[in-house]
Structure 1
Amino acid sequence: MMNAVEFKEVTYLYPNGMKALNHINLQIPIGTKVALLGPNGAGKSTLLHHLNGLKVPQQGTVKIMGEELTKKNANSIRQKVGLVFQDPDDQVFSGTVLEDVEFGPRNLKMTEEEISEVCLAALGNVGMLDYKDQAPYHLSYGQKKRVAIAGILAMKPDVVILDEPMSYLDPAGQDDIAGLLQGLNFLGKTIILSTHDVNFAASWADMIVIIMNGEIIATGGTELLVDEEVIRKAKLHLPIVSRLFKMLPNVDTLPKNEQEAFRLLYRIIYEEEGRFTY
């Protein structure tokens, strides 16, 4: 099966000679939900910028949906990969919400009928259709993020990338974005996001990628987030539920999220009472 993203020996140096990415190798299957984690300055944003042609490899190759990224085809690659910036004010700037979402499709030379269809559908998918005639500066931070995502969806990308989508959102806003990302994945989109939130990553992602000093130090499932050696090396924390269960005696396997914690707690309680066979 074709991968949505392939990095092969990708290296990128800043003008001062520092390696932002150092021989990156990565494969992301189509339809995967990926959480990219690492400390500030690890190379997360630089890696994301290689996914939609904002940067191109100085060494190595990047393929998006089987097509190799080059300077010549960077614009066409951006039609396959949509990038949502960390701050929606960098992306949402038109007079009305609808005009903002229409910006990308108009640059793709869609017909007026096509533009109306894709933009209204995108706003509906993010729950912002009722706000289409409002000025973006009247919206909350979370609503602006939804509009930014709608602007990307209107371009009909195969891959949606988000740089720290939960930053500066209150808990309710974070829940809204998490549900939205889940829905986009149900629609068949490959979702790749950078985050510092190991709790969110543990409950949402299919695939974890951990980057440190421009190098990928681990890839795999969410079990990486309870690998104490990896977490320590990446300067991250174990998920909260993992830290709680780590304090309990006779717990051999740490749960990664609330669902696993409930199942483990249920087993512990009923085994102690002699009424449960696991």
Structure 2
Amino acid sequence: MYAIDVQNVTYSYPDTTTAIENISLQIPIGAKIALLGPNGAGKSTLLHHLNGLKLPQEGSISIMGIPLNKKSAKMIRQKVGLVFQDPDDQVISGTVWEDVQFGPRNLGMSEAEIEAVCNVALGSVGMLDFKQRAPYQLSYGQKKRVAIAGILAMTPDIVILDEPMSYLDPKGQDEVAALLQGLNFMGKTILLSTHDVDFAVSWADTVIIMKDGRLLAYGGPELLVDEEWIRKADLHLPRIARLFRMIPNLNIEKLPTNEQEAARLLFKLLNYEGIRFN
């Protein structure tokens, strides 16, 4: 069984604009997936399908083995938590606690269950001490974490995030990256859309590239150092790969995808092959 199984899905808006066209992909349970592509590629529309906010007009989607349709959409939203790009669209209650307990309460959990799952969710994102704060008292990064906590309180198997790094300072980006890694260690399947190729190539074990509503490429993070795919997707190489691309007459099998690969390659080029890396 796959966490997400998409087969030949097409969706057009009322003005006949095709948002996604004949998309097929299968995502294993426990994977870390980065979805990339230029604006208008159809990334958000695809994410909304995976959460049941939209239903495919053609093709089929199964989440944790459950086919997506009108009857199953509510159940799918319990399996798949969607964190919007802007937390102000999601964190709207009077206090952090009220916001996080909104989802579990609507699922019909008991008061004891709500208390337990909300404490665990806020603790996992480092916001338990802020539960009586009003959202306007929080930084943008803190509100992002509260939005994630609100999803985790519904105990989903899959967490989907739309541009989780947008508008965050470097510290906030590091905190969210560490949080995502922690959620994956907890067994969650994580799928996020991003324009940040540097983050995607270092974090994801699977990369999906879309353009013009179609699936352009699907595979490992090495796709993001493949100059042909990068050019087709209107993206750019990660900074580390661009650095090595600037070295004249460099004859290597492939560009590095992360700092560790870059260090190994650099020392090899400098004939320090005896150095060991952890």
Tell me: CA distance 1:80–1:268, structure 2 relative to 1, closer, same or farther (3 Å).
Answer: same
**Paired residues for 1:136-215 under 5 Å:** 136-215=135-214
Q: For each residue in 1:91-142, what CA deviation from the matched residue of structure 2 results, as whole angstroms up to 9, or x when unmatched?
A: 0011111111000000011010000000000000000001011111100000
**Cα deviation digits, residues 53-72 of structure 1 (max 9, x gap):** 11000000000001010012
Q: Which residue of 1 aligns with 2:259?
A: 258
Q: Which residue of the partner structure matches residue 122 of structure 2?
A: 123
* Superposed displacement of residue 247, structure 1: 1.4
Q: Would the aligned equivalents of 1:267 and 1:276 in 2 still touch at CA under 8 Å? A: no
Question: Is contact 1:24-1:216 (8 Å) kept?
Answer: yes
Which piece of structure 1 moves more, 149-158 or 258-267?
258-267
Q: Does 1:67 align with 2:66?
A: yes
Partner of 2:25: 26
Total equivalences in the alignment: 274
Q: Equivalent residues in 2 for 1:75-154 (5 A)?
A: 75-154=74-153
CA distance in 2: counterparts of 1:266 and 1:111, whole angstroms: 59
Corresponding letter in the other structure for 1:140: S
Query: Does the Cα contact within 8 Å between 1:38 and 1:44 map onto a contact in 2?
Result: yes
Q: Which moved more, 1:12-21 or 1:114-123?
A: 12-21
Residue 276 of structure 1: how far off its partner (Å): 7.4
TM-score (structure 1 length as normaliser): 0.96
Partners of 1:230 and 1:190 in 2: how far apart?
Answer: 25
The 1:275–1:64 alpha-carbon spacing in structure 2 relative to 1, beyond 3 Å, is closer
Tell me which stretches of 4 or more aligned residues in structure 1 moved more than 4 Å: 274-277
Letter in 2 for 1:52: N
In the other structure, the counterpart of 1:241 is 240
- SS of 2:271's equivalent? helix
Once the two structures are TM-superposed, the CA of residue 250 in structure 1 deviates from its matched residue by 2.5
Q: Secondary structure of the residue that 2:26 maps to in structure 1?
A: strand
Identity of aligned residues (%): 68
Q: Which structure 1 segments of 5+ residues have no match?
A: none
Aligned to 2:226: 227
Q: Is the 8 A contact 1:8 1:25 kept in 2?
A: yes
Letter of the 2:259 partner, please give it: E
SS in 2 for 1:256: coil
TM-superposed deviation, 1:81: 0.2
Cα distance in 2, alignment partners of residues 204 and 250 from structure 1? 26
What amino acid does structure 1 have at the position aligned with 2:257? Answer: K
Q: Does the CA contact (< 8 Å) of 1:12 and 1:58 recur in 2? A: yes
Structure 1 vs Structure 2 CA RMSD: 1.3
Q: Which runs of 5+ in 2 are unaligned?
A: none
Shift of 1:146: 0.1
**Does 2:272 correspond to 1:267?**
no
* TM score, norm. by length of structure 2: 0.96
Give SS of 1:106's match.
Answer: helix
The code of the aligned residue for 1:184 comes to L
CA distance in 1, matches of 2:221, 2:209: 11
For the 8 Å contact 1:270–1:276, the answer to whether it is kept is no
